[in-house]
Amino acid sequence: VTLDLAGSTGLADVNDEEVACGSAVDSPASQGFLRKRSGVVLPLAPIAGYPWSTAARINHDGFVLGTSSSSTSSAATLWSPAGTAMALPDLGWSQSLPIALSDSGVVLGKGEIAGTWSPWIWDAVNGTRWLASLGFPSGGDPIAPEANDMDSSGRVAGNTWRGQSFVFDLASGTSTSLG
């Protein structure tokens, strides 16, 4: 399969099954793709209303996390191993960006409302929730803390605007300061 863009192509992530995801970019356009172990390349279409897609993470089961975007907005998108796109339900934001995808299908991202970006979490059972509603620390900052990554056990690595690093455990709702 040939991707529709003439620009550069790069892999973003690979899982233990040697299935990879990435994007072909011919600025400003982009096309996400899934590369199967057999070498078959599957283009990842954006969700309705967006012209472009970008693939960022892939989990063990072959689900791909990325973004559907236009020149003015973006939406975190989850693709099935067959390439079917699903818009992740939002909480009223104008833009959303994916951060991490666990092997159990939990998605970590951030959404923007009125110029402020805040971290959120999505799973198939509970839907989309702001991390702050689960006890994600603010550190007393006027700017929402960053969620930078998530491990397979549901621990989120983050930091506050003041530079305090921490690990937040989704299961217990507790955080451990790392200084």
pLDDT grade, residue 138 (50/70/90)?
A: low
Asked if residue 67 has pLDDT above 70, the reply is: yes
pLDDT tens digits, one per residue of 94-107: 889 899 999 999 99
**Contact in structure between 141 and 131 (CB atoms under 8 Å):** no
Which pLDDT score is estimated for 141?
A: 56
Query: pLDDT: is 63 or 28 the higher one?
Result: 63
User: From the CB of residue 104, how many other CB atoms can be counted at a distance below 10 Å?
Assistant: 13
Residue labelled with tokens 């279409």: 45
Burial class (CB in 10 A: 0-12, 13-18, 19+), 174: exposed
pLDDT grade, residue 42 (50/70/90)?
A: very high
Asked if residue 7 has pLDDT above 70, the reply is: no
Which pLDDT score is estimated for 29?
A: 83
Asked if residue 150 has pLDDT above 70, the reply is: yes
Which pLDDT score is estimated for 1?
A: 42
**Contact in structure between 166 and 175 (CB atoms under 8 Å):** yes
Average pLDDT across the chain, whole number = 87
Which pLDDT score is estimated for 20?
A: 93
Query: pLDDT: is 113 or 107 the higher one?
Result: 107
Which pLDDT score is estimated for 124?
A: 92
Considering only 9-13, 48-52, 55-59, which range has the smallest mean pLDDT? 9-13
**Contact in structure between 138 and 160 (CB atoms under 8 Å):** yes
DSSP 46: P
